[in-house]
Amino acid sequence: MNEHIVKSFEDELNNLAAEVARMGGLTESQVADAVTGVVKRNQALAASVVARDDRLDEAERDIERKAIRLIALRQPVANDLRHTLAAMKVANNLERCGDLAKNIAKRTLVIIESDPLTPLTRSIERMGRLVVMRLTAVLDAYTRADVDRALAVWSQDDEVDEHYNSLFRELLTYMMGDPRTITACAHMLFVAKNLERIGDHATNIAEIVHYEATGDEMITGRPKTDGLKP
């Protein structure tokens, strides 16, 4: 075991990781609630997601402050520097996920006003659940420093993309079929896009976990599908 001579340094590092894990828990529940809100057309839940976003912003600022303080006072190197930087970067990605969840919730409040798009909601639900699963898996990987699990998340990002592309087509069909649904469908399109970007942030976090544990960047190209072409 490589224990530090200065015990409080160790404590500070552990505390930073713990703060990130707690922030991760908050983000997971924000994203999950945002998805449930849009699927179940639950106005109260969507409104509470919007209201709770401040907690995530505050958590990110707090983690950043602590990380900067740690770098300034302790001048960490090697492992310790990577842990500190990783905490900052993960927090940053989580905050972005939180913003996207908040945006989904805001759109939900608009979508609720028009008629339900039942079959579409199912597709959104599937994609939403997939994205929440990714986020949970990558946060598990972070708290347990499990590189294999992080790699698994990293290599499966194309699944989310495929769902997004399929949803995109489905939405187009809807809008062409009935122009009255265009407002709701356009918002749904952004909901799907937001989910896809939350998936991207999960992939980013997977890269950070890999870097934190090994010190190597992932250079091999991820299997990327070019979904914009028909």
The rounded distance, in Å, linking the Cα atoms of 219 and 96 is 24
Contact between 98 and other proteins by CB under 8 A: the answer reads no
Q: Judged by CB under 8 A, which of 159, 183, 189, 193 binds other proteins?
A: 159
Contact between 48 and other proteins by CB under 8 A: the answer reads no
> Is the separation of the CB atoms in 114 and 183 below 8 Å?
yes
Contact between 65 and other proteins by CB under 8 A: the answer reads no
Cα-based distances in Å from 122 to 35, 125, 128, 163, 187: 11, 5, 10, 12, 16
- Give the nearest distance from C-beta 47 to other proteins in angstroms: 17
Stretch that binds other proteins, among 60-68, 84-92, 134-142, 208-216 (CB under 8 A): 134-142
- Number of continuous H segments (helices) and E segments (strands) in the chain: 7, 0
- Give the nearest distance from C-beta 17 to other proteins in angstroms: 8
Q: Judged by CB under 8 A, which of 39, 166, 183, 190 binds other proteins?
A: 166
- Give the nearest distance from C-beta 190 to other proteins in angstroms: 19
Stretch that binds other proteins, among 24-32, 68-76, 178-186, 189-197 (CB under 8 A): 24-32
CA atoms within 13 A on the CB side of 51: 6
The token pair at 92 is 């940053």
Q: Whose structure tokens read 């590092």?
A: 13
Q: Whose structure tokens read 């609720």?
A: 112
Q: Which is nearer to other proteins, 146 or 183 (CB)?
A: 146
Stretch that binds other proteins, among 40-48, 71-79, 106-114, 133-141 (CB under 8 A): 133-141
List of residues 6+ apart from 30 with CB closer than 8 A: 49, 52, 53, 56, 97, 98, 101, 102
Q: Which residues of this chain interact with other proteins, rule CB under 8 A?
A: 11, 14-15, 18-19, 21-22, 24-26, 28-29, 32, 122-123, 126, 129, 132-133, 135-137, 139, 143-144, 148, 152, 156, 158-159, 162-163, 165-166, 169
